[in-house]
């Protein structure tokens, strides 16, 4: 969150850039780690949310493992110094080269998402003379009550293996050479704000674990994914997400014996510590009377609004105007969907003013692209200012 002093310092910097509040990241990690330790829960950071090396360094210093979604993410985690024994790797379409790499690095678990993937992994592990620990990513058919674009655990989703298919093929799966099928994994979606959804999740997991055991699987751990949401509407009211509540819910509803429980949070760890700082380039009014603020960033820096209608709170951090105006804030990319928000109430804003798009630490910089040959956004860290 940006203090008065910081605002003055930002004014002289070239825009756009991501500003990371390292104190807030520290506070968030302290909260996550201390709440998880109450129950002995194991935390992995979903590295896809943000790959910034300074953020990774701090996350590693708090002892988190990593959750990956590609071979290059596994490589990035290992190069950032994370121990392979804390790395899990899920992904609906892992290529052979990625599987070979993950096998060779001896990571904690590969989370498999189809029967065919299990067979390919088994063949590769056997060929390489290795035994791989596997978690079955189960599709539990749960509605996480979030934006449909970011739900991942409903029956028709591309993610995970249907629970029925696992039970029907349990014998075949258990006998695949080169695999130790020891984990049950699920991830039902992201930006979950209705925490009672985690109660349903526990109820499903309890039944799934019991039935997988009855089908002969020797499960040693359960990974319940990530998904804890953050307050995009009023980030200042909730800078640190409610880890205490979600862990308390899981603790009181999950019945998986003494098995370790793993979490894979991305957004909840880094979402609130990042903001996209951008400058007003031009004011323009459409023929229909709509007032546009054209800023010097776009969907190439922050694609979430264009990709799935995500909301980011926008503030003008340099204007001293008291009069307010309603704006549509648009970016520089050559796409009509390149729009950050409509009807944004801001102080009357002029060329050169700085805007912040808040809560942009997760799935912001990591989703940046070079469309229109834009430069990739750089990082600025609060502790350097």
**Closest CB to ligand PLP among 183 and 226?**
226
Beta carbon of residue 88, minimum distance to ligand PLP (angstroms, whole number): 8
- Per-residue tokens: 38: 């109450």
Is the CB of 232 or the CB of 327 nearer to ligand PLP?
232
Nearer to ligand PLP, 16 or 364 (CB): 364
Q: Taking Cα atoms as reference points, which of 160, 150, 140 lies closest to residue 229?
A: 150
CA distances in angstroms from 93 to 99, 231, 316, listed in the order given: 10, 31, 42
Say which residues have a Cβ less than 8 Å from residue 230's Cβ, sequence separation at least 6: 191, 238, 241, 267, 268, 271, 272, 359, 362
* Number of Cβ atoms within 10 Å of the Cβ of 365: 25
C-alpha span between 288 and 149 (Å, rounded): 31
What's the rounded Cα separation, in Å, for the pair 150 and 287?
A: 35
User: Rounded distance, CA 336 to CA 369, Å?
Assistant: 17
Bridging pattern class, strands 324-330 and 161-162? unpaired
User: Minimal CB distance to ligand PLP: which residue?
Assistant: 226
- Shorter beta-carbon distance to ligand PLP: residue 249 or 348: 249
Binding positions for ligand PLP, rule: CB under 6 A: 46, 49, 67, 90, 152, 187, 190, 225-228, 264-268, 362
The residue among 188, 265, 253, 182 whose CA lies nearest residue 221 is 182
> In the bound complex, what is the minimum distance in angstroms from residue 109's beta carbon to ligand PLP?
12
Q: How far is the CB of 242 from ligand PLP (least distance, A)?
A: 13
| Residue 184 or 344 having the CB closest to ligand PLP | 184
Q: Which residue has the tokens 């298919």?
A: 165
Closer residue to ligand PLP (CB): 98 or 264: 264
Q: Which is nearer to ligand PLP, 197 or 228 (CB)?
A: 228
CA distance 151 to 147: 7
Q: How far is the CB of 162 from ligand PLP (least distance, A)?
A: 17
């Amino acid at each position: 969150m940006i203090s008065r002093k910081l605002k003055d310092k930002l004014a002289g910097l070239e825009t756009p850039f991501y500003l990371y509040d390292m104190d807030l990241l520290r506070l968030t990690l302290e909260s996550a780690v201390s709440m998880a330790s109450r129950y002995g829960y194991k935390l992995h950071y979903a590295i896809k949310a943000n790959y910034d090396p300074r953020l990774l360094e701090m996350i590693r210093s708090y002892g988190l493992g990593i959750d990956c979604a590609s071979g290059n993410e596994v490589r990035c985690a290992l190069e950032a110094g994370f121990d392979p024994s804390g790395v899990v790797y899920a992904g609906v379409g892992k290529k052979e080269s990625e599987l070979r790499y993950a096998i060779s690095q001896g990571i904690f678990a590969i989370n498999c998402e189809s029967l065919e993937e299990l067979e390919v992994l088994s063949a590769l592990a056997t060929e390489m003379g290795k035994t791989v620990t596997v978690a079955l990513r189960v599709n539990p058919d749960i509605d996480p009550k979030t934006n449909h674009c970011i739900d991942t655990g409903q029956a028709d989703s591309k993610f995970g293996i249907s629970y029925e298919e696992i039970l029907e093929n349990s014998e075949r799966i258990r006998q695949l050479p080169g695999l130790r099928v020891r984990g049950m994994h699920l991830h039902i979606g992201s930006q979950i704000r209705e925490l009672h959804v985690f109660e349903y999740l526990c109820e499903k997991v309890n039944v799934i674990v019991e039935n997988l055991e009855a089908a002969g699987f020797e499960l040693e751990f359960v990974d319940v994914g990530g998904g804890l949401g953050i307050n995009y509407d009023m980030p200042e009211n909730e800078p640190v997400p409610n880890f205490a509540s979600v862990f308390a819910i899981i603790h009181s509803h999950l019945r998986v014996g003494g098995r370790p429980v793993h979490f894979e949070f991305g957004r909840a760890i880094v979402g609130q510590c990042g903001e996209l700082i951008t400058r007003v380039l031009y004011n323009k009014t459409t023929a229909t009377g709509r007032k546009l603020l054209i800023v010097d960033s776009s969907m190439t820096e922050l694609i979430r609004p264009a990709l799935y209608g995500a909301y980011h709170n926008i503030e003008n951090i340099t204007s001293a105007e008291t009069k307010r105006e309603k704006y549509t804030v648009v970016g520089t990319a050559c796409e009509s969907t390149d729009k950050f928000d409509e009807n944004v109430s801001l102080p009357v804003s002029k060329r050169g003013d700085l805007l912040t798009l808040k809560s942009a630490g997760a799935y912001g910089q990591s989703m940046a692209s070079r469309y229109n040959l834009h430069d990739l956004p750089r990082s600025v860290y609060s502790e350097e200012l």
